Homo-oligomer: A and B are copies of this chain.
Amino acid sequence: MGISERKEREKGEMKKMITTAAMKMFLEDGYAKTSIRNIADSIEYSPGTIYLYYKDKDELLYEVQGQAFLKLLEAFKTHATSKDPIRRLEQLGKTYVSFGLENPELYDLMFIIRAPMNVDDELHKDNGGETFFYLVDCLEECMKNGLLIFKDPMQAALQVWSMMHGLVSLNLRCRLKVMVIGEESIQPVLFKAVEEYLDSIVV
């Protein structure tokens, strides 16, 4: 019978409707300033309804994070496509930094905000895993050809990711103001840091 299928479909549509509204509002106003009530309002349902589809605000964030990671992966697949793995690594780095600069609220919600990840241990590979391994793959290809100074691919990934995340997140939290960088020169300065850093890790 098709009724339960339709119900299933409707449930999915409702979940999508909620996450879409949530994503929009998280992006515009940030996670903290977006309340369940606001989201409920915007989709014209009562607050209680959202809890029929998501256990709590964290679970909703987790869902939106998943979408955000896909968006970053998308950006990687579009902009980090060079056949030369070293060149591709540079594209990866710059794409990552640009993503952080252009989508601060999204970046926040993916990497900075304190939220669900801390609890559910297993799910990490789902959310963000594929995106992370896009970087690991690139590094492994570089290392297979002996192009990087690293010995362990995981150490390599840790360092490269830490550098990129450090650059983006210090900027997002305005900590770079101590070194008086003008607003407009932030992107070039961060790009230069990426270039210099990658230069220092190729053999």
Bound state CA distance, A200 and B175, in angstroms?
25
9-residue interface stretch from A9-17, A34-42, A70-78, A116-124? A116-124
The answer to whether A169 has its CB under 8 Å from any CB of chain B is: yes
Output the least CB separation between A103 and chain B (Å).
Answer: 16
Q: Give the dominant DSSP class at A's interface.
A: helix
The answer to whether A174 has its CB under 8 Å from any CB of chain B is: yes
Bound state CA distance, A175 and B131, in angstroms?
12
| Number of copies of this kind of chain in the complex | 2
9-residue interface stretch from A44-52, A55-63, A83-91, A154-162? A154-162
Does B169 lie within 8 Å of A165, measured CB to CB? yes
Does A189 lie within 8 Å of B129, measured CB to CB? no
Does A157 lie within 8 Å of B170, measured CB to CB? no
Does B155 lie within 8 Å of A161, measured CB to CB? no
The answer to whether A192 has its CB under 8 Å from any CB of chain B is: yes
Does A170 lie within 8 Å of B159, measured CB to CB? no
How many residues from A make CB contacts under 8 Å with B?
A: 44
Choose among B124, B159, B165 the residue that contacts A177 (Cβ–Cβ < 8 A).
B124
A residues 149-183 touching B (CB-CB < 8 Å): 149-150, 154-155, 157-159, 161-167, 169-170, 173-179
Choose among B166, B167, B178 the residue that contacts A125 (Cβ–Cβ < 8 A).
B178
Chain A residues proximal to chain B, CB less than 8 Å: 30, 32, 108, 111-112, 114, 117-118, 121, 124-125, 128-129, 132, 149-150, 154-155, 157-159, 161-167, 169-170, 173-179, 189, 192-193, 196-197, 200-201
* 15 residue pairs A–B, Cβ–Cβ below 8 Å: A108-B114, A112-B173, A114-B173, A128-B175, A129-B178, A155-B189, A155-B196, A158-B167, A158-B189, A159-B163, A162-B162, A163-B163, A165-B170, A166-B166, A166-B169
